[in-house]
Amino acid sequence: MARILVTGGAGYVGSVCCLRLLQQGHQVTVVDDLSTGYAEAVPEQAVLHQLDIGNRSELAKVLGKDRFDAVFHFAAKALISESVSNPGTFFDSNVASGIALLETVRRAGIKRFVFSSSAAVYGNPRSTPIEEDDPKNPVNSYGETKLSLERALYWYAVAYGWTVVAFRYFNACGATATIGENHNPETHIIPLLLQTAAGERPFFEIYGADYPTPDGTCLRDYVHVLDIAEAHMLALQVPGKLPFSVYNIGTGASYSVRQICHVVQQELGMNVTLKNGPRRLGDPAILCANPQRLMQDLGWRPLSSDLRTIVRTAWDWRQRNPRGYAGQVDAESVMSKR
């Protein structure tokens, strides 16, 4: 059993990882400012502190209460279009506050760190599927901030004897029985399609139909959030003698926006009105992972990431939570119980 500090543990991927950590018998403490996360998403067995990771003095108090064995770092701003139009806030939140977190963690004597990075570090790849050692040329500031913190973590591992694992996610999607995607604003394809199917949107807008792909729409590698969480569980087993490891989390298969629309309509038995729109700023044409390193080194397998399972679990969660977390108890009452 380990004591794990999870930053951003009230977010989509972070909360699922908290759930899996608890199921494996670990103790979990969450730090989240709840600016985009939801207290309701944090499992009841976890301790939740509403706190900005850049607040060094308050974070130090949390770290001083328990001797933590590892940090899982998910907290970050992640809206791609905003990262293009307002990069300063991304460097402030993801890099400046990230370094504040690293320094506070270093002073607390914690030496195992698992970082939620992104496929956005690659930008427009020269070839696909993408391997971890391929060139990194981000096309938006979100990807640049993730790459910046990766580089900082490499030097922390070298200088301070840390064991760091960085995971570059491709498209996280799907849901568990209790946790699903609930972003505001929502920008991810599957939740948007489900909202359209449910009649909450008049149509689904395809952002760009003129990409150099077989049907003109972007190609992406979709991976179930449970499979992402399992990779994080395996990260705790990485030997301490390995200072810095980086892994893609994807399936090695890519699907176009139009293909995803077709699968959603097939799986739900509903027609979804589609309309072509302009390209979205900062969107590469193709992102597809080569996950072989993760499979070989840690024995990871994407067991839940077939498209029908992804769509069905996301739809089932949405049917149970039609208003998302807004339909559950409010954050203040959740916090008051902890």
Q: Which residues are catalytic?
A: 142
Residue 268 in 3-state DSSP? helix
Give, as one character, the DSSP assignment of residue 130.
B
Residue 248's beta-bridge partner residues?
168
d(CA 174, CA 152): 31
25: closest CA among 51, 2, 42?
Answer: 2
d(CA 285, CA 213): 7
Residue type for 277, please? G
d(CA 197, CA 107): 50
Residue 27 in 3-state DSSP? strand
Query: Are the C-beta atoms of residues 173 and 161 closer than 8 Å to each other?
Result: no
d(CA 180, CA 105): 29
- Cα distances from 330 to residues 41, 180, 186, 241, 324, in angstroms, run 11, 17, 20, 44, 12
Give, as one character, the DSSP assignment of residue 119.
G
**Phi then psi dihedrals of residue 232, to 5 deg:** -65, -35
Q: Please name the residues in contact with 148: beta carbons below 8 A apart, sequence gap of 6 or more.
A: 91, 94, 95
d(CA 282, CA 139): 6
Residue 31 in 3-state DSSP? strand
177: its two tokens: 């029985």
